[in-house]
Amino acid sequence: MNAESQSATYAEITGWGKCVPPAQLTNDDLATFVDTSDEWITTRTGIKARRISHVNTAELAALAAKRAMAAAGISPEEVDLVALATSCPDTIVPNTASKVQQLIGAKNAAAFDLNSACTGFLYALQNATAQVRSGMIKKAVVIGAERMSWWVNWALRETAVLFGDGAGAVVIEASDKPTGLVHAQLGCDSEARDILEIRGFGTDMDRYENPPSALDVHFMGPDIFKRAVRAMGQGSETVLAKAQLSVDDIDLLVPHQANLRIIASLQKQFKLADEQVMVNIHNYGNTSAATVPIALCEALETGRVKPGANIMTAAFGAGLTWGAGYIKWGERVTPVNVCDEELPANDKTAQELLSIAIKHCLNK
């Protein structure tokens, strides 16, 4: 371990990037094959549209990572770790992070997948931050990437309207400045883990006698709402206390984008003004582990993150995992470089991309 590693006690976020696929599925589009309406979805969730990917999770993650590395001004060879938070892996074995490592050219990096559902990005960020702060690594790319549309049963209205696809990433680097994820509180309410689950997949299923058919997301909305508000609120209070901050010190809250009413409840609890809360659920729906990094990227792109800002983030997901974190932003809020690469061209609409899945689900 060299002197630089020993003196570096923080993990500053130096780069950020997102990747949202171009095909958009609006509420009106959904209403053409699901018994719903724009009014029904909007009033219950705040969602107006979501993106449907024409590529796999690894490709979404890789482009977000490339954009984050460009923003940080680092080369792929400098990356020591690729941490991918996802519940939509391309493959179970090998892990999807190894594919991302290959696609971004980070040949010197370790790579792992982490599945903590919607809280995954916070779990991965805490893990990578701990490695940087311990001196074990210097630079990491932390990604939240999901292709949630792959799991959706389009015959089930309550969940078909919620989810979308996308990816967001950050680069963290060793620093002696008190920046980055300074404090975090993670937890898991496992007693209620069965109220949010994807059934019919994994070694829990009967592989030979009852092979999987249509997968679906089992979702008990009212109970999830109550637990999400409580866990995210308590976690945020704990982190504020650890950081010796008051609510008045918060410049921006970047919460998990699962439901606008959950976000509004958290905002009310902490008495935050609208300009202090980052909301983009109306454009993307719930992209699970990708919501927080996508929202953080958009906050930076729109000038809502100022140098030295105090940022709070909180999330809640299946498991039931939960987490909150305090991020002290550094001085730079503009990218060093810009990645001009795009996803492979797609000439299909969201409905055309989903046509086989929709037909399969609705004919069951």
pLDDT in tens, the chain (364 residues): 344 444 558 999 999 999 999 999 999 999 999 999 999 999 999 999 999 999 999 999 999 999 999 999 999 999 999 999 999 999 989 999 999 999 999 999 999 999 999 999 999 999 999 999 999 999 999 999 999 999 898 988 888 999 999 999 999 999 999 999 999 999 998 787 876 677 667 777 776 666 555 556 666 667 888 888 888 999 999 999 999 999 999 999 999 999 999 999 999 999 999 999 999 999 999 999 999 999 999 999 999 999 999 999 999 988 889 999 999 999 999 999 999 999 999 999 999 999 999 988 888 6
User: What pairs with residue 188 in β-bridges?
Assistant: 321
With residues binned 3-state (H G I as helix, E B as strand, rest as coil), the percentages for the chain, rounded to 5, are 40, 25, 35
User: Domain containing 149: what range?
Assistant: 10-334
Residue 359 lies in a domain: no
Cα dihedral 50/54/59/60 (nearest 10)? -10
Measure the CA–CA gap between 235 and 314, rounded to whole angstroms: 8
- For residue 353, the model assigns a pLDDT of 97
Residue 303 lies in a domain: yes
- For residue 206, the model assigns a pLDDT of 72
- For residue 8, the model assigns a pLDDT of 59
Residue 218, helix vs strand vs coil: strand
Phi, psi angles (nearest 5°) of residue 184: -150, 150
- For residue 41, the model assigns a pLDDT of 97
| E-state strands within the chain | 10-19, 24-26, 49-51, 81-85, 110-114, 139-147, 165-175, 180-188, 196-199, 216-219, 252-255, 310-317, 321-328
Task: Provide the phi-psi class of 247: left if phi over 0, else alpha when psi is between -120 and 50, else beta.
Answer: alpha
- For residue 3, the model assigns a pLDDT of 40
- Which residue in this structure is represented by tokens 């979308």? 164
How buried is 224 (Cβ within 10 angstroms: 0-12 exposed, 13-18 middle, 19+ buried)?
Answer: buried
Measure the CA–CA gap between 287 and 146, rounded to whole angstroms: 6
**How many domains are there within the chain?**
1
Measure the CA–CA gap between 46 and 51, rounded to whole angstroms: 15
Catalytic residues: 118, 256, 286
Residue 349 lies in a domain: no
Amino acid at 350: A
CATH of the domain at 57: 3.40.47.10
Residue 345 lies in a domain: no
Residue 5 lies in a domain: no
Instruction: Of 240, 225, 226, give the one whose Cα is nearest residue 325.
Output: 240
User: For residue 12, what is the DSSP state?
Assistant: E
Residue 184 lies in a domain: yes
- For residue 77, the model assigns a pLDDT of 98
Q: Which long-range contacts (CB under 8 A, 24 or more apart) does 72-75 make?
A: 72/14, 72/15, 72/171, 72/173, 72/336, 73/14, 73/15, 73/336, 73/337, 74/14, 74/15, 74/139, 74/171, 74/173
Six-digit token string for 271: 């008495």
User: For residue 327, what is the DSSP state?
Assistant: E
Measure the CA–CA gap between 103 and 339, rounded to whole angstroms: 14
Amino acid at 118: C
Residue 351 lies in a domain: no
